A and B are shown apart, each in its own frame.
Chain A
Amino acid sequence: MLSGIIVNTLVAGVIYAILAIGFSLIFGVAKILNMAHTALYMVAGFIIFIGLQMIGLPLYLCDILAIVLTAILAMICYRLVFDRVKIQTSAVMIISIALAMLFQELLLMQFGAQPRQIPPFIPGYFEFLGSRVTYQHIFSFASFLALICAIWFLMIKTRLGKIIRAVSEDPEVSNLMGINVTRISLITMGISGGLAGFAAVIVVPLFTLHSLMWISPLVTIMAVVVLGGLGSIKGSVIGAFILGFAETAVSMLVPLGSFLSGAVSLTIMILVLIIRPEGLFGVAFEEERL
């Protein structure tokens, strides 16, 4: 039982962390609470499906297309919608929900609600601590580690990363220093969208693809970023594993309550908002933005 909890916590934590990083990144930089983030992840999943099943492209090409096209779509959303209302957080939030529902309805119209499956990169499984783990999960874990390294490198070692962090810490001063804040926000939105696409590439083969699939992970990643500290990538990763553990423990230890795993996330989110609104890792992490 314990091994099952450990394995599934790692699996769930990776999935939530990958989704939460993109969500957190764009909030940290542009203060955009993009509720359409998981809808972008859903769109990316459908891009893979279209390329693979309808056009017959190879899986790796579909995956690259999904990441690129989702990044472009996120940038279009920013340019056409978010950029115009970004001063009002509530308007951004409402509009992003509307966008997510728009994507949902468009996909529903085009593809219906039939659940679909995308094949894993590497099929099969192996036993680990008595639990069966698919190779796709290992691929997800390795991709997650690679992603964390890539983001660390981007944010710490590159000029773009430094600019993004500067805008994140103080957009007004950055503007006075000659940084084009709107352009940086646009680029960050593209990176965030690309991360949603990347999440789809490694997560969707583990899940079922359908036009309502954006709702459940949205609830969880909101809880993750609130728990970790809104805008903090490091906090999001840690929050993802904590919630992954909480949900797994509920499903494993309280079988009859496995449908409550989403509610557990929400409860944790509410408790954090009441007791420690800045998140578990507080101001220190807030300042770091990483």
Chain B
Amino acid sequence: MKRYKKAKICSVWSVIPAFILMAYIPGGPAVQAAEDTIKIGVIGPMKYVQGIHHLAAAEIARDEIMAAGGISVGGKQYKIRLVQADSNEIASVTDAVNAMERIIANEKVDFIVGGFRSEATLAMMEVNADYKTIFLSCGPASPDLSVQVAKNYNRYKYWFRGGPPNSISSAPSAFMFIEMVAGAVRKELGIEKPKIAILADKALYIEPAVKMLESQLPNRGLEVVGTWRPSFTASSVMTELTAIKAAGAQMIFTYAAGSAGVAYSNQWGELKIPAGMFGLNVEAQRIQHWKNTEGRCAYLAMTAFFAKAAATKRSIPFYDKFVAKVGDTPTSTASSYDAIWMLKDAIERAGSLQKDAIVTALEKTNFEGAQGRLVYYPNDHKWPHDLQWGPGFVTMFSVQWRDGEMKVVWPDGSKAIRGVRYEGTVDYKLPPWMVKK
């Protein structure tokens, strides 16, 4: 018994230098990949389309990587195991934080992809920073996430954006989209200074973009007639649409990531509001939206993070696989596909499972994903670990509902986007009820 106690004490003391040694190992802590499996947590609102897309896209990436032999680290092949966690973040940020804590502490995942609401992801980042677990957010668009990395690199360096580019960096695409629609209004209605209304969810990720639109649009030959901010989950926007019509707008720029997007599109089409509605509308990007609104969404145009257009060699195959698997078009959270591929790419380039080595490799990512060519801003940029937007990187797409299909209408090959126009793109059309006969 005495010998056992002594042995126990010895083993306790022997652990301490081991911890000290670990702290000084170059590259810092390593992921805890068991035997031959790397565990990737997929965190998202799993009862909602956003979480469903997180998971489905991650599964497609996993299956492709596994079919190609898995992840190779130092000559050893690792399998991928996905562990899902329901963040319930649309209803509760607290639930999201708890889910993050659980997936790291209990499930012992090595990496995490997911997150949807910027507010929730900001809170989740605190947990992944505490545990130093590499987390690629897939869906939230607020630049505040990468600003955290810029403010305190050592704490937040384990966070990266899996997609889409942040709402400010990608704002030029919104302006180009606006220019395209304004061009149609000028040409077809003969109005030199079109009136535009902004209809945007009241949510954190939109705040900087809305402020930018309000200040910039008047400089671009447009008159902003007002900004309406209904709730993220509004069931009806009748009043807002009535006010917009009364204000005489010919264009309605939307920012709708929540369920309110259905009301935006459905009621606009039902009332045939004489203004082209376009912008961000996550719900309207879904393949069922046409049937769901019985075609009332016709001529609605919206930004899409994925479309049936060849931005890279992966874009169309991923789009087709996703539609076949889910029966739906991929939304922004399906960027978990690119996130997992980027992780594989970075781990293999790092040749190690050391977290800091993988962070360094991720920072040097130059990868052709389904969204476009994925490259991070440098560490001295105001948005480190954030994806670069622009021609040659990720441009995103704009699509328009016509005849039951989402047709790609942007990038339109204009000078502003340096002539980029993917194969299969068609010209944007104003709703016919707006056009004088």
Which residues of the partner chain A approach B179 to less than 8 Å between Cβ atoms?
none
Cβ of A8 and Cβ of B262 under 8 Å apart?
no
Choose among A113, A213, A252 the residue that contacts B48 (Cβ–Cβ < 8 A): A113
Identify A113's interface contact among B90, B236, B263, CB under 8 A: B90
Interface string of B39-81 (1 = CB under 8 A from A): 0000001011100100000000000000000000000000000
Which of B132-140, B225-233, B424-432 has 4 or more CB atoms under 8 Å from chain A? Answer: B225-233
8 Å CB interface, B250-298 against A? 259-263, 266, 270-273, 283, 286, 288, 292-294
B49: which of A108, A113, A208 is its contact (CB, 8 Å)?
A: A113
Shortest CB–CB separation between residue B325 and chain A, in angstroms? 16
Is B240 at the interface (CB under 8 A from chain A)? yes
* Known contacts A113-B48, A123-B270; A131/B235 CB under 8 A: no
Evaluate contact between B202 and A7: CB separation under 8 angstroms. Answer: no
Among B45, B48, B202, contact of A259 (Cβ-Cβ < 8 Å): B202
Shortest Cβ distance from residue A243 to the other chain B in the assembled complex, whole angstroms: 13
Q: Contacts A4-B246, A117-B293, A210-B259 known; A12 to B239 CB distance under 8 Å?
A: yes
Residue A121 is within 8 A (CB to CB) of chain B in the complex: no
| Chain B contacts for A130, CB-based, 8 A | 246
Question: Which residues of chain B are within 8 angstroms of A258 by Cβ–Cβ distance?
Answer: 228-230, 239-240
Chain A 80-115 per-residue mask, 1 if CB under 8 angstroms from chain B, else 0: 000000000000000000000000000011001111
Instruction: Assess the A116–B91 pair: CB atoms within 8 A.
Output: no
Indicate if B204 sits at the interface (CB-CB under 8 A): no
For B283, the closest partner residue in chain A by CB is: A115
* B259:A119 contact, CB within 8 angstroms: no
CB distance from B96 to the nearest CB of A (A): 15
B202 contact set on A, CB distance < 8 A: 259
> Interface size for chain B: under 10, 10 to 19, 20 to 34, or 35 or more residues?
35 or more
* In the complex, chain A residues 194-217 whose Cβ is within 8 Å of any chain B Cβ: 206-208, 210, 212-213, 216
Check if A216 sits within 8 Å of B233, measured CB to CB: yes
In the complex, are the beta carbons of A134 and B271 less than 8 A apart? yes
Q: Are B270 and A208 in contact (CB under 8 A)?
A: no
By the criterion CB–CB under 8 Å, are B90 and A251 in contact?
Answer: no
Tell me which of A119, A212, A255 contacts B229 (CB under 8 A): A255
Query: Cβ of A257 < 8 Å from any Cβ of B?
Result: yes
Which residues of B216-248 are within 8 A (CB) of A? Answer: 226-236, 238-240, 242-243, 245-246
- Asked whether B272 lies within 8 Å of A112 as measured between CB atoms, the reply is no
Q: How far is the CA of A281 from the CA of B245 in the complex (A)?
A: 37
Is A115 touching B262 in the complex (CB atoms < 8 A)?
yes
Residues 91-150 of B at the A interface (beta carbon under 8 Å): 91
CB-based contact B270/A112 at 8 Å: no
- List, in ascending order, chain B residues with CB within 8 A of A134's CB: 270-271
Minimum Cβ distance to chain A for residue B407 (Å): 22
Q: State whether B231 touches A259 (Cβ < 8 A).
A: yes
How many Å lie between the Cα of A248 and that of B237 in the bound state?
10
**Distance (whole angstroms) from the CB of A54 to the closest CB of chain B:** 13
| Residue numbers in B under 8 Å from A248 (CB-CB) | 239
Interface residues of A in 138-178 (CB under 8 A from B): none
With CB as the reference atom, state the residue of chain B lying closest to A116.
B292
Tell me the chain B residues, 151-173 only, with Cβ under 8 Å from chain A: none
For the complex with contacts A108-B47, A112-B49, A248-B239, 17 further pairs of A-B residues with Cβ separation under 8 Å are A4-B242, A4-B246, A8-B239, A112-B52, A113-B90, A115-B292, A116-B292, A117-B292, A117-B294, A131-B246, A132-B242, A208-B236, A212-B259, A216-B234, A256-B229, A258-B230, A259-B230
Which residues of B come within 8 Å of A, CB atoms? 45, 47-49, 52, 90-91, 202, 226-236, 238-240, 242-243, 245-246, 259-263, 266, 270-273, 283, 286, 288, 292-294
**What are 10 A-B interface contacts by the 8 Å CB criterion?**
A4-B239, A4-B245, A8-B242, A112-B52, A114-B288, A115-B283, A117-B262, A119-B294, A252-B239, A258-B229
A-B pairs, top 8 by smallest CB distance, nearest first, are: A259-B202, A207-B235, A115-B259, A251-B239, A113-B48, A115-B262, A4-B242, A132-B271
